[in-house]
Amino acid sequence: MAAHLTESFTNPPGYTFPHHRLSRVLRNPNKTPLVLVACGSFSPVTYLHLRMFEMAKDHVRQNTDFEIVGGYLSPVSDMYKKPGLLSARHRVNMCTMGAEDSNTWLMVDSWEAFQSYQRTAIVLDHFDYEINTVLGGVHTEDGEHRNVRVMLLAGSDLIGTMSEPGVWAYSDLEHILGRYGCFIVERAGTAMDQATDALARWRSNIHLISQLIQNDVSSTKVRLFLRRGLSVRYLLPNSVVDYIEEHGLYQDEGANTSAHPSPDKGKEREREVTASGSKKEAVS
């Protein structure tokens, strides 16, 4: 396997890698241990983000030779400067509440949240390093060592951006899709085939998951609802709704966000949302 893109990983102050829910024993020795990593803004985390992991779990069990040993949400750094991006502290708190309240296998890693912007290829390297190099991977019930495969979990809109010029570096795509691979959850408004056609050379490492029950909740819609004083209960875990109310979050556009929109990635994304209209129409 190719080496990591970096040999040294800078940790935020006081950081330790969370592994309290990582299963260290592989139940089926014929399977390959797998950790799923979802990168995103999670501003705020919704039930759809959490459902992505459950959909992936069913897909993995029914269609692959992997065995999931853990799942991580990795909220992006404040330096990503996307519109609506609340400070990393709040986003990490909400992800932790949402993930830890409602299941037994998800964890939140704050490594990328609490430092400068890290590309997704580097984030996957960080997980690979922590799980396989530092922790030493997992073992079978007979004590045989196994390296864990780390893979990206994302919606089809994210994979769609991978074929847009200028968003991802080609060498990073080779690293993410060639070395690691990904599970892609269908997202309303994005054609899965179109999203993956341009990435055909990595086809064997791209696993597509259909949404059998369509759910198009997005953080953008949730933020719009909150600004208009509409209820978001049952779109997000109750603990996250309570946290948002308690801290008065997402009341004004741009207020209590981590930064002002930058002319780069954030603006690109804002154009995408406005152009498709899909996220704004819902509450207009």
Ligand X SMILES: Nc1ncnc2c1ncn2[C@@H]1O[C@H](COP(=O)(O)OP(=O)(O)OP(=O)(O)O)[C@@H](O)[C@H]1O
Closer to ligand X by CB, 138 or 222: give it.
Answer: 222
Dig out the tokens for 52 from the structure. Answer: 């992505």
Q: How far is the CB of 136 from ligand NCN (least distance, A)?
A: 27
Binding footprint of ligand X on the chain (CB under 6 A): 38, 40-43, 48-49, 52, 84, 154-155, 157-158, 185, 187, 215-220
Q: Is 72 in the site for ligand NCN (CB under 6 A)?
A: no
Of 253, 200, 203, 258, nearest to 228 (Cα)?
253
8 A C-beta contact, residue 107 and residue 70:
yes
Buried b (16+ CB within 10 A) or exposed e, 93-112: bbbbbbbbeeeebbbbbbbb
217 binds ligand NCN (CB under 6 A): no
Distance in angstroms (rounded) separating the CA atoms of residues 232 and 251:
13
Contact between 41 and ligand NCN by CB under 6 A: the answer reads yes
Query: Considering only CA atoms, which of 85, 140, 129 is closest in space to residue 250?
Result: 85
Taking contact as CB under 6 A, which single stretch among the options 97-105, 119-127, 194-202, 231-239 is the one that binds ligand NCN? 119-127
Q: How far apart are CA 218 and CA 221, in angstroms?
A: 5
- Which of 186, 4, 255 lies closest to 195, judged by CA? 186
- Pick what 239 binds: ligand NCN, ligand X, none; C-beta below 5 to 8 Å, kind-dependent: none
Beta bridge partners of 38: 73
Told to check if 82 binds ligand NCN by CB under 6 A, we report yes
Q: Taking the complex as a whole, how short is the minimal distance between the CB of residue 11 and ligand X, in angstroms?
A: 23
Q: Compute the distance between CA of residue 159 and CA of residue 34 in angstroms, rounded to an integer.
A: 20
Q: Is position 42 an interface residue for ligand NCN (rule: CB under 6 A)?
A: no
**Binds 49, which of ligand X, ligand NCN, none (CB < 5 to 8 A, cut-off by type)?**
ligand X
Residue 167 touches which member of ligand NCN, ligand X, none, C-beta under 5-8 Å by kind: ligand NCN
Q: Does 168 bind ligand NCN (CB under 6 A)?
A: yes
CA-angle at 9, arms to 54 and 31, nearest 5°: 35
Name which of 144 and 216 has its Cβ closer to ligand X. Answer: 216
Per CB under 6 A, the segment of 164-172, 190-198, 203-211, 229-237 that binds ligand NCN is 164-172
Q: How far is the CB of 168 from ligand NCN (least distance, A)?
A: 4
Applying CB under 6 A, among 46, 120, 156, 190 the residue interacting with ligand NCN is: 120
Peptide bond into 165 cis (omega under 30): no
Position 167 contacts ligand NCN (CB under 6 A): yes
Task: CB nearer to ligand X: give 132 or 155.
Answer: 155
Among 31, 49, 269, 279, contact with ligand NCN (rule: CB under 6 A): 269
Beta-bridged to residue 39, according to DSSP, are: 74
From the list 229, 257, 281, the residue with the least C-alpha distance to 84 is 257
> By the criterion CB under 6 A, which residues form the site for ligand NCN?
39-41, 76, 80, 82, 119-121, 158, 161, 167-168, 172, 269
